[in-house]
Amino acid sequence: MTTRTRELKWIEGHVTAARGFLATGIHCGIKKKKPDLALIMSEVPASAAGMFTTNKVKAAPVRYCEKVIESGAARAIVVNAGNANACTGAQGLRDAEEMAAITARELNVTPAEVLVASTGVIGMTLPMDKLRAGIPAAARALWESGEGAELAIMTTDAFPKTAAARVDIDGVTITIGGMCKGAGMIHPNMATMLCFLTTDAHVPPDALRQALGRAVAVSFNSITVDGDTSTNDTVILLANGRAGGQSLESGPAYEAFIDALTCVSQELAKKVVRDGEGASKLVEITVEGAKNDEEAKRGALSIAHSPLVKTMMYGAEPNWGRILMALGKAGIDMDEEKTEVYFGPIQMFKDGLPMRFDWDAAVALMKQPDVQVRARIGVGGGSWTVWTCDFNEEYVRINGSYVT
């Protein structure tokens, strides 16, 4: 999972950074005052790939998109915040379809070219009157202002999350941009991670799907705030080919595209972790020497999910035993006698025995906004990195009294 970033150039911008994409965000009245409706559009037909929540309880827009995206093509995405359209039965699916139909009519595309995403409260049907008026207004704004899409998808987010980068592939400059929302599955009634990525690279649908799968595995699927999964989680990638150049489907050029897509995805994913409710730091956890990458990931996630590890990160005390405990319960092959644990550069455990280390230096290291933990478990060549945040009183305060 090494990512080659040497050719990557970060730029300002987000989902409209690549050529031929428009986006906007407006207020249509689902929320009281804040922007709550976004549109994203490609000026020309685009390849489309999507990945959706693995939660068995899937929101209506997720069920809708899973079907529509099978064609591998899309032109537009309509997104509302404030209402998740989840646990809303058959009416929910009809509402998602109507959102697509209105968007198609206003943007002069076919309904099958429109994807839909929702985020917000679970268990209430959408206020369709507001969307029936709002989507045409958003379509007008798309041509006129084309701003604020990244704000109109936010729910409990403390800040908008965007990233964009350029990379030269065989003399052609490719741009990849994106925006996302989410602060962990911290408010199940106002939850969800949504990410929209666009690129002007020329990538056919099958290759696009594979590229997205690989990028998401080491970015959005390698972060955790609290181990909970929303009913609405969605990542969509559109590629409209406006950059010109060869079709990217295999070989070094295709790998370079995946590398760049991975970098942008990781940048966005880390922003979600930093915005974890009450989070005061980003914790990077790497497990090496596992039987394979899959087991390394399970070990790293076991550490990242442990409330004991997360509260330790908050308290900034190097109780390395919690790392061993979390590895041990992951159900993966490990050789305790060959296991090593590091916090940053400081080694704390070696050959099955604790080491003397500078406690104060380790505490100082853990008080930084970025903390690295690395464990080598001595059985093979598998490795994986995940990102999480600390866990503190703020999370409990917010989630213990959500409605009142």
Q: Which is nearer to its own copies, 237 or 282 (CB)?
A: 282
Residue 292, interface with its own copies (CB under 8 A)? no
**Least distance CB 336 / its own copies (angstroms):** 6
CA distance 292 to 375: 14
Nearest 5°: the CA angle 83, 152, 182 is: 70
Q: In the set 165, 263, 312, 362, which binds its own copies (CB under 8 A)?
A: 312
Q: What is the DSSP letter of 385?
A: E
CA distance 152 to 146: 12
Q: What is the DSSP letter of 87?
A: S
Q: Which residues contact 22 (CB under 8 A, 6 or more apart)?
A: 16, 39, 40, 41, 43, 142, 143, 146
**Least distance CB 307 / its own copies (angstroms):** 5
Q: Give the type of residue at 126.
A: L
Q: In the set 73, 87, 101, 253, which binds its own copies (CB under 8 A)?
A: 87
76 touches 45 (CB < 8 A): no
CA distance 334 to 119: 40
Taking contact as CB under 8 A, which single stretch among the options 153-161, 166-174, 204-212, 350-358 is the one that binds its own copies?
350-358
Taking contact as CB under 8 A, which single stretch among the options 12-20, 133-141, 185-193, 208-216 is the one that binds its own copies?
185-193
Residue 401, interface with its own copies (CB under 8 A)? yes
Tell me the two tokens of residue 385: 């990195």
CA distance 105 to 117: 18
Residue 353, interface with its own copies (CB under 8 A)? yes
**Least distance CB 92 / its own copies (angstroms):** 9
Distances (CA, A) of 325 to 112, 299, 328: 50, 11, 5
Q: Is 192 an active-site residue?
A: yes
Q: Which is nearer to its own copies, 164 or 296 (CB)?
A: 296
367 touches 316 (CB < 8 A): yes
Q: In the set 98, 249, 284, 336, which binds its own copies (CB under 8 A)?
A: 336
For every residue of 4-49, DSSP letters joined together read --TT-EE-S-STTSSTTEEEEEE--SSSSSS--EEEEEEEEEEEEE
375 touches 347 (CB < 8 A): no
Q: In the set 245, 328, 344, 380, which binds its own copies (CB under 8 A)?
A: 328
Q: Which is nearer to its own copies, 191 or 260 (CB)?
A: 191
Residue 67, interface with its own copies (CB under 8 A)? no
Taking contact as CB under 8 A, which single stretch among the options 5-13, 94-102, 152-160, 328-336 is the one that binds its own copies?
328-336
- Restricted to residues 106-135, the positions that interact with its own copies (CB under 8 A) are 122-124
Residue 290, interface with its own copies (CB under 8 A)? no
Taking contact as CB under 8 A, which single stretch among the options 107-115, 156-164, 281-289, 396-404 is the one that binds its own copies?
396-404
**Least distance CB 368 / its own copies (angstroms):** 16
Tallying the residues shown for the chain, one arrives at 404
CA distance 277 to 289: 32
Q: Which residues bind its own copies (CB under 8 A)?
A: 54-58, 86-89, 122-124, 185-186, 188-189, 191, 226-231, 305-308, 311-312, 314-315, 317, 319-322, 324-332, 334, 336-337, 349, 351-354, 391-393, 395-397, 399-404
Active-site residues, by number, are 192
